[in-house]
A and B are shown apart, each in its own frame.
Chain A
Amino acid sequence: MANLSLRDATKTFDDDGDEIIAVDELNLEIEDGEFLVLVGPSGCGKSTTLRMVAGLETPTSGSINIGDEPIHHQTPQERDIAMVFQSYALYPHMTVYENMAFGLEESSDLSDEETEEQVNTAAEMLGITDLLGRKPGELSGGQQQRVALGRAIVRDPKVFLLDEPLANLDAKLRAEMRTELQQLQEDLGTTTIYVTHDQTEAMTMSDRIAILDGGMLQQVGTPMECYHEPANLFVAGFIGEPSMNFFDVTRADDVLVGDGFEYPLSEEMSASIDGTTELVLGIRPENVGIVERSSGPTVFPGVVDVIEPHGNENAVHLRFAESSTDETFTSTVDGMRHLTGGQQVGVSFPEDAVYLFDTATGDALRHRVVEDIEEVQEIGTR
C-alpha cells in the first residue's frame, strides 16, 4: 500500500564548480509498515536521502516512488509524508494544539471538530494532553520532542521521516524514547525511515538497517545480519559497540602473519579467501577470550594494558606480547573477573568467531560461523 522505493536516487551538489556527490545511485525498497533505519557517519548522505524523500531536495537523477506512484517531481506539500526534525522545528508562536492542528488545517479539509478530535487522540497517545495549551518555549526538551512526534502522527501520513529525533535528549530519556517510538510505530503500522548516526539506535529499533558511507549503500539487512554477517570492513567496524578489532595480516601458505601473532588457516578458511594474500582479520571484542598462557594454535601471548569497568562487563585493552607497536585491541569480559594492568595473559581467537576481509576491496571473504542463524534471526525479528 505505502511501500517506498528509491531507484538509482542520486544527489549531487555544486560547490564552486566542483561536483560533490552526496548520494550515489541509491536503491532501497521499504516495505509497507516497515521501520527502516538509515545509519552512517556524518556526511554519509543519510540526511540528504531523507530530504529527497521529503521533497526538500530534488534528486539529480533516479526516482522515488510511493507504491507505484512516482513522487520525486512533487513538492513537499503534495506528498503525503510527515517529518520530525532534529531541532523539532516547532512553531514558537503557536500553542502545542495549534502546532499539531496546523498540518491538518493545511493538508486536509477536515472540519474544526474533526481536527480537534484527531489532535486530542494523538495527544492522548503521546501523553501530552495537559500540554496542549502551552507554547513550545515553555516545554522541556523531552516534551518538545513528543510534540514534534505528535505533529507528525496526527496527520496519519503514508510515510514517517525521522531525522535524528532523539539526538538532543539526554541518555536516559533517549533510551526511554527509543522503546516508546518503536512501540508507537508498531501500533500505527506506518512505513518509517529513521535517520541516525548512532548504531545503538539502529540496532535496537529497526526492522532493517541500511548502512551508508560516502553516499553509497554498504548493506541493507536485519540488525542481526548486519552484526553477524557484515558485507564489508566498514559495516563490520560501524555496527557493534565496542567496535570490532581489526588486524592487518598477510597470508603465508597456511598461516596468516600479523604483527605479533600468526594465525593458522583451516581448510575452510583457505577456501573462502581463495588466492587473496593481503587480508584484514576481524574479531568482535566479546569473542576475544582471555585465558591462561598455554599452548594452543589460536592462543597468543598478550599483555593487559588498561581496564575499563562497565559494571556487568569490563572492556579490557590488550597488546600482543610480541608486537612491535603499542597498538591495542579490545576484549569484553565478565565484570567480576579480576585483571590488572601489565598482567601476562593468553589471548584466544576462536576460529568460529574470526572474520576475514580483503584489504584491497574491503569486502568480507569469511564471516564468523553462527551455528543457528535461523534461531538468532527469530530472536532478532520482532
Chain B
Amino acid sequence: MSKPTRSRAESIARILPALDYTKIGLSLVIVFFFAFFISPIWTGFVTALKTTGAVTGTTPFIPPGPDGFTLEKWSVAFDYLSTGIVNSLVMSVPSTIASVFLGSIAAYGLTLVDWNERLQFSILVLFLVGIFIPYQAVLVPLSDFWINIVGVDDLIAPVAALPYFTARHSRLFAVTATHVVYAIPICMLLFRGYYMSLSDELIEAAKIDGASITTIYRRIVLPLSKPMIGVVFIYQFTMIWNEFLFSLTLIGSSSSPAATVTLVLSGLGSDLSGVDFGLRMAGAFVAALPTLIIYVLFAEQFAEGLASDN
C-alpha cells in the first residue's frame, strides 16, 4: 500500500497540536488577572526606586533610568518607620500569641469537652455575634472604656520606667488588649472547624487512659493543632499588623512615640510641599516586610493547615 502524498501545510498541521480554544481562553484570562493584580505592586515597587524628579517625569510603571534611580527613599522610610515597626511588633506578637492560644482553648471547650450542650451552643452564638460587631460601632465606647473607665494611662504608668517605653505606651497596651479580645471569636471559629474534624475516639482513648481535661488539651489536642496554629497565627498577625482604626482611636497621632507602623505610614511623605510618592511607596514596602517574613516562615504549616482543614 502506498501512502497518500501530503502537502507541506498539511504536514505542519499534523505536527502542531490541535488548537484548543478553551485552553487559549483560559490562558488569556490567567494572563489578564496576573497583570491586573501584579501591576499596582510593580508600579509601587518601581516608583519607590525613583528620585522625586523621575517619579513625575516618567510613566509610573516604567523602571527608572540610571539617572532617575535611588535607594534613598528606602533608607528615609526605614528611619521614619523604625519606631513604628518596633511598636507594632511589641503590640502584634503578644496579642497574636494570646489570641491564638485563647481561641484554641475556647474552641476546645466548645467542641471536645463534654458538658451542657445547650449552654455550649449559646456560648458559641455569643462568639459568632462577636465576629460581626463592626469596628466603627465600638470606637467611641472603646476609647471611653480604656481612658476614662480603666484609666489605662495611670494603670500602666510604671512601664515608662522600662527602657525604650514612654508614658504614651500605655495606649499601645490598650490597643494590644483590644486586639486580643477582638480576635478571640474568629480564632475560636477557625480552631473549632479543625477540632470538629479530630476523631472523637482519640479524645475518648485519652480519657480512658486516665488523662484529665487539661492534660488532654496539653498533650493531645495542642500538639495536634500545629498546622492550624500556623494558619491562625499568619492570619491573625497580618490582621493585627495592618490594623489602623484602633491605633488611630487610642493612640491618636502619627507623631506619638507609641504610634504603630500603620499610623506612622499614614503621615509619611506628605507635607506642605506636596506628596512624595517614592517615599510613600518605599514606606509601604518596609511596613509590609514583617508580614512577608511571617508568610515565608510559616508557609509550610500554612499549606498543611489549609489542606487538612478541607
Contact = CB atoms under 8 A, between A and B. Distances in A.
Interface of A: 54-56, 75-77, 79, 81-83, 85-87, 89-93, 102-103, 106-108, 151, 155
Given A85-B201, A89-B199, A89-B202, A54 B209 contact: no
A54 B208 contact: yes
A79 B210 CA distance: 8
Closest 8 CB pairs of A and B: A107-B210, A103-B209, A89-B201, A106-B210, A89-B205, A76-B207, A106-B211, A85-B201
Contacts of B202: 89, 91
Contacts of A55: 207-208
Contacts of B201: 85-87, 89
Interface string B213-226: 00100011001100
A103 B208 CA distance: 8
A77 B205 contact: no
A102 B206 CA distance: 8
B300 interface: no
Nearest to A163: B201
B144 interface: no
- The secondary-structure label for the interface of chain B is helix
Given A54-B204, A85-B201, A93-B224, 10 more contacts: A56-B204, A56-B207, A56-B208, A89-B202, A91-B202, A91-B205, A91-B220, A103-B208, A106-B209, A106-B212
Contacts of A79: 208
Interface in B189-246: 199, 201-202, 204-212, 215, 219-220, 223-224
Interface residues of B, number: 17
Interface of B: 199, 201-202, 204-212, 215, 219-220, 223-224
A85 B202 CA distance: 9
Nearest to B213: A77
A81 B220 contact: no
A90 B203 CA distance: 10
Given A91-B220, A102-B219, A106-B215, A83 B210 contact: no
B164 to A, nearest CB: 39
Contacts of A56: 204, 207-208
A45 B207 CA distance: 22
B222 to A, nearest CB: 10
Contacts of B207: 55-56, 75-77
A90 B206 CA distance: 9
